[in-house]
Amino acid sequence: MFSQTVEYALRAMATLASHPDNQFCPAPRIAEVAQIPASYLSKVLKHLVDAGLLRGQRGPGGGFMLRRPASEISIWDVVEAVDPIRRIKTCPLDLGAHKTNLCPLHRKLDNVLADMEKAFKEATLSEMMNQPGYPQPLCDFVNSTPAPAVEGRTPLA
């Protein structure tokens, strides 16, 4: 249902939401934790920076961090930044008889998209990270002992 880009963006954002506040996380560490190919990650991070969700800094001690608290970033914000969901406004078959009155099939599909949009706008990154009774995203990394300090790598915990 979702593109690989959306999946990777959500993983990257979950990684950064788990990272200590006010500290940059290097892209190689994000790639490692979120299990995203580094070349693909750079494209995803660019979209997230351009959308105002992340702040990036080059050089030693640089990397990426959330621009706002995770409680202020909706899942919708992330999806829209990398691969917007397109609602059905007119007949996809370009049938003149339908014009802007969608047939029952496309009206139902658009209603589902509207429900999904509403749910994603109401769900925040922090809620995704802290659901009691469910494992935390990326829990093998987030809840593990931090890796020893390696040049160019910042431990998550």
Alpha helical stretches, state H, the chain: 4-18, 27-34, 38-50, 75-82, 104-122, 125-129, 139-142
pLDDT value at residue 135: 58
Q: What is the pLDDT of residue 136?
A: 59
Specify the pTM.
0.79
> What is the structure's pLDDT at 138?
59
Q: Where are the domains of the chain?
A: 4-85+125-142
Q: What does each of the 157 residues of the chain score in pLDDT, given as a tens digit?
A: 789 999 999 999 999 998 877 789 999 999 999 999 999 999 999 999 999 999 999 998 899 999 999 999 999 999 999 999 999 887 777 777 776 688 888 889 999 999 999 999 999 999 888 766 655 555 455 444 343 333 444 444 4
Q: Which CATH number fits domain 4-85+125-142: 3.90.1150.10, 1.10.10.10, 3.40.50.150, 1.10.357.10?
A: 1.10.10.10
